[in-house]
Amino acid sequence: MTRALVAANVAVFLLWHTLGRSQQGGDWLAANFLVSAGAIYQGRVWTLILAEFSHYESWHLLLNMIALWTFGRAVERTIGPGRLLRLYLVGALVASVSYVVYAVVVGSGEPALGASGAVSAIAVVFACIYPRAWLLLNFFIPVPAALAVALFLLLDLVGVLNPRGDMIAHAAHLGGALYGFLYWLIVLRPRLRPVYEA
């Protein structure tokens, strides 16, 4: 399932750089793969999910897919492919809703895209299941997973409380992360408890 999710994200990226090069194709992609308060007001609620498969910049895709691959494979081995897919999709939905609500509150009409919110949900579940697993922060600083994920979420919290126009959907990250934590706490933790106690 992790491979399928990565493939879906790559496919939408390729659409932006093929079909999206024409005016008509670019308009269609913007209408369906970008989420904003305006899109929801116009009834395009599917953008809440599709935007979380959408990347235009190659670096954005690369960073999100590295994170999805790193966390997704381990989480999939633990909870199974079906649950991973639901975690991604519901995490995406909660992340996008969080972004739209935040955008309305701060009066922003900017659209958003990217898998970061869904990946945040998966990353939090990974950190809850494997808190002592070592991750390489910025690709070279070894840090326990729980601390690494907490640091990124702290940066997102600062970004929400002190918006600087950095073009990062911090509210989406936090929404996805909150869903991931609640999913682990309510759904996964009771089932995995025998593993911890063994």
At 124-164, the pLDDT tens digits run 999 999 888 777 666 667 778 777 788 777 877 877 777 66
Please state the φ and ψ torsions of residue 43, each to the nearest 5 degrees.
90, 5
- Distance CA(51)–CA(83), nearest Å, equals 21
Using DSSP, state whether 196 is helix, strand or coil: helix
Token pair listed for 111: 């659209």
Number of neighbouring beta carbons within 10 Å of residue 129:
20
Q: Which residue has the higher pLDDT, 192 or 65?
A: 65
- Domains of the chain (ranges; CATH) run 2-197 (1.20.1540.10)
Cα distance between residue 72 and residue 50, in whole Å: 19
Active site residue 173: yes
Considering 96, 116, 120, 170, which one is annotated as catalytic? 116
55 is catalytic: no
Whether 72 has a pLDDT exceeding 90, the answer reads yes
